[in-house]
Amino acid sequence: MATTLAQRSRKATYQRGLIACRKCSAPIYIYRLQALPGEFSVQCPKCKDRSIYVKGAIALEELPERRRKPRKER
């Protein structure tokens, strides 16, 4: 049975990853979680230190939708 776009349930939240900097403990947010390899390098926005982290150390956060205007219901 086919469903139209209006019938599909839309996700009201999005996920982002959070990892703490090893040097200054500032939060580093990661938005593309599916594209990450097992080990990745990321730069801290506060102290500019770059370290290697493992994907399993990422904490997930669910946040409300980021749209400024609500979607129009059809």
21 burial type by CB count under 10 A (0-12 exposed, 13-18 middle, 19+ buried) = buried
| The predicted structure's pLDDT at residue 7 | 47
Structure tokens at 47: 């102290």
> What mean pLDDT value characterizes the chain?
81
State the Cα–Cα distance between residues 42 and 48, nearest whole angstrom.
9
Between 7 and 44, name the one with better pLDDT.
44
The yes-or-no verdict on residue 29 having pLDDT over 90 is yes
Segment 6-23, tens digit of pLDDT: 444 555 677 889 999 999
Q: How confident is the model at residue 63 (pLDDT cuts 50, 70, 90)?
A: confident
State the Cα–Cα distance between residues 48 and 41, nearest whole angstrom.
12
Model pTM above 0.75? no
